[in-house]
Structure 1
Amino acid sequence: MATGFRRDVMGLRTGLSRQILVAMSAITVMAGLLVFFGTYLAYTAIVAFYPMSEPEGGLTSVDFAIVGVLILITLPLAAVVSVRLARRILEPLDTLARSARRITAGDLTARASSGDRALGETAGLIDDFNTMAQRLQDMAADMALWNATIAHELRTPLTILKGRLQGMIDGVFEPDERSLQGLVLQVDGLARLVEDLRTVTLADSGHLDLRLEPIRLAREIEQMADLMAHDLRAGGFRLQLELADLTVLADAIRIRQALLALVTNARRHAIKGAITITVTARDETVVLGVADEGPGLSQETTTRVFDPFVRGDPARSRELGGNGLGLSVVRAIMEAHGGRLRYRTAPEGGALFEMIFMKTTGPDPARDA
């Protein structure tokens, strides 16, 4: 491999250097001949129009000798200039070739050196290559972290399932209704994890299937509130709705999924009290907000709250069945809709998550219906 690499680099260096040298030499000779004969032709034309200026004779052997000497002098100069130019061009290309070969071999830390920044196009090529290499390295690191985290998240429920089932087989545990329900809860947790992973992955790759239609957010939220109210009251929470009757172009199922994730997140992490859902118009957007009464997020958590598997309180999240993907799913759904998810501190000091949609243009078929 190393021999092949050196052969490639030497071939690049000698081939391009030779081409530059030949081109510079040819340009020098052609320029000299063009200037010489062009001057002679111009002088001949002047004489044709002004006969009084007619010279005593034409080109002599001395004239041609002078041209030959001048060409012999300028050719070495052209060679020196071409070699220097070739070196300036080839140095960054050499580093680019070496770095590309290292990346091919698996070393994603390899970077090319741009060398002389005066060569704008070459420097731009090197910068683009380094940017691509950095993105490849970041993607590889993210993939490794993602795989490790998924394995960690799957290990706990699978271990519990295996232990309980093995215990039932060995007669340690009775396969009663309570034990079986516990196993079903673990399977449900695995199913939610797989579905959340699927949603985030499809959204990141641009393949999340959406069935877009005009939906009235207030009506969708009111229907969901009726379903969530009982469980929230049992946990010490109450829902407050402040809903403007606004329409957005969205997938109703995905929006319900995102809203449920935000309300569940508030239930897991907020103090008992009100969870407020609002729908407002702001500039050219429609904002669906979910706010709680505290304590909100720490400054450290705020910067990475939408990253996969990030938990504000890991112990509490695990206790209530969280997998750290809820906010990542909401962000993925919003980005697939062409909107965005934003966090800020609520006026009461709690956490406020805002799903921001673009306003629907044209007639409102949902309202007309």
Structure 2
Amino acid sequence: MKIPSLSLARLTAIVIAAMLLLSVGIAYVGVSWYSSYLEEGIISSLPPNAAAAYKDMNAGIVPDTASLKELFDLINAMSEPADFQLYVAVLVCGLLSALMCSVIGFYLARRIAHPLEELTSAADGLKSGDFSVRVQASHSSTREISSLVETFNALATNLETMEERLRFNNMAVAHELRTPLTILRGSMQGMLDGVFPMERRTVSNLLLQVEGLSRLVDDLRTLSLAIGQKLVIDRNRLNAAELVEAVLASANPMLEASKLTVETQLQPAYASVDSQRVRQAILALLENACRYAASGGVLRCETETLPDKSVAIRVMDRGPGFPEDMEAIAVNPFWRGDPSRTRATGGTGLGLSVVQAIATAHGGHLTFSNRKDGGATVAIILPQNAEDKLQKVGTHAAMGYA
């Protein structure tokens, strides 16, 4: 009865029209049959002369005057009760046709509403926290219901994925906090108990742990701002090459300590950006290079305007490069180049996620690739004019849920 290509509005119109035609047809057939039955009963009750006159009239023969008068008198006498019976027949046939159409219409309405009932039940399960619920789309569903089922299943899948990653992120945050907090608690307890001397070097080491915790909190705050779409506020049209030069100048001591030689190819590239956030992103890339690619000895920074008028900021190193499964970098906000997730090299594991959040908040994106001769390339792609673009980083992009 249903055709998948039909829309709900068109299907409803067709069903209503079919029910109206069916109702009229049933009433017409019933009344026609009862009229014939009533006519046969009247004819059978006529006297012989009147019956003969009626047959002559149907045959096209003019009956005699007396028989014709008798026929008309009988018909006039029986017309009122016959009309009443006919009115009753019309009413009964109309009620029967309406009842039959109501039953058929109720059945069709139930079939149309059944997927919506399944969706309501699944939505209740989703509300209670069961993100594994799905709705099977029927081949006979209308276009709108099929689209709604597909959208609901996609939403449930995204929520299930978000829950899994949120659970992982909570475990990762606990992992990141456990080590420095354990060191701080053990060292401070040892000092109070007199086991460890309260030396300047010990306090300096504890301060390093506090600084690591501060970096973790700052990174988490940056991602929280991205989730709330408040990461990029103050935009100005600036030259990306000048921003990179400023960051390289401020990070020069860190680069020298890592024994990295910096090469640059900074072409003028203008974009509407939040200078503070872009500098933060560039600095995060430089810090990652110092931690994981210092063995390469060379760091290259480039800026250019791409053919589509967007601006590219690239940081290229000669380190070990990225793993084959580069998707894990964008999906996992606590990804580390060190498979053991050791803190020996420092960092929170959130650096690339912060850079990705900043790029997405500008309406751009982050790209990863390995260089042919060894090393990695991370590029921040920013649109030239992003004033009219909404910040789409949200939970998905900031925490790797895209």
Q: Is the 8 A contact 2:303 2:312 kept in 1?
A: yes
Question: Runs of 5+ in structure 2 lacking a partner?
Answer: 1-15, 30-78, 387-402
Q: Which amino acid aligns with 2:142?
A: L
Q: Which amino acid aligns with 1:222?
A: E
Hey, what does 1:354 align to over in structure 2?
379
Task: Give matches, 1:110-259, under 5 Å.
Answer: 110-259=133-282
Q: Is the 8 A contact 2:27 2:90 kept in 1?
A: no
Q: Deviations over 1:175-195 (max 9, x none)?
A: 111101101100000000000
Hey, what does 2:350 align to over in structure 1?
325
Hey, what does 1:299 align to over in structure 2?
324
TM-score for both structures, normalised by structure 1? 0.77
Q: Is the 8 A contact 1:292 1:352 kept in 2?
A: yes
Structure ranking higher on relative contact order (CA contacts 8 Å, 6+ apart): 2
CA distance in 2, matches of 1:205, 1:172: 46
CA distance in 1, matches of 2:27, 2:95: 16
Q: Which amino acid aligns with 1:259?
A: I
Report the alpha carbon displacement of residue 229 of structure 1 after superposing the two structures with TM.
2.7
TM-score for both structures, normalised by structure 2? 0.71
2:306 to 282, 286, 306: 282
Which has the larger displacement, 114-123 or 268-277?
A: 114-123
Which consecutive aligned stretches of 4+ in structure 1 deviate over 3 angstroms post-superposition? 23-36, 58-77, 113-118, 314-317
Aligned residues: percent identity? Answer: 36
Q: Which amino acid aligns with 2:384?
A: K
Report the alpha carbon displacement of residue 90 of structure 1 after superposing the two structures with TM.
3.4
Q: Which amino acid aligns with 1:272?
A: G
CA RMSD of aligned residues (A): 3.3
Hey, what does 1:264 align to over in structure 2?
287
Q: Deviations over 1:89-125 (max 9, x none)?
A: 2322332232233233332222233335332233333
Indicate how the Cα distance of structure 1 residues 95 and 291 shifts in structure 2: closer, same or farther if over 3 A, else same: same
Q: Which has the larger radius of gyration?
A: 2
Indicate how the Cα distance of structure 1 residues 249 and 101 shifts in structure 2: closer, same or farther if over 3 A, else same: closer
CA distance in 1, matches of 2:18, 2:204: 86
Q: Which amino acid aligns with 1:298?
A: P
Report the alpha carbon displacement of residue 31 of structure 1 after superposing the two structures with TM.
4.3
1:345 to 364, 370, 374: 370
Q: Which amino acid aligns with 1:330?
A: V
How many residue pairs match? The answer is: 321
Indicate how the Cα distance of structure 1 residues 173 and 134 shifts in structure 2: closer, same or farther if over 3 A, else same: same
CA distance in 2, matches of 1:25, 1:267: 75
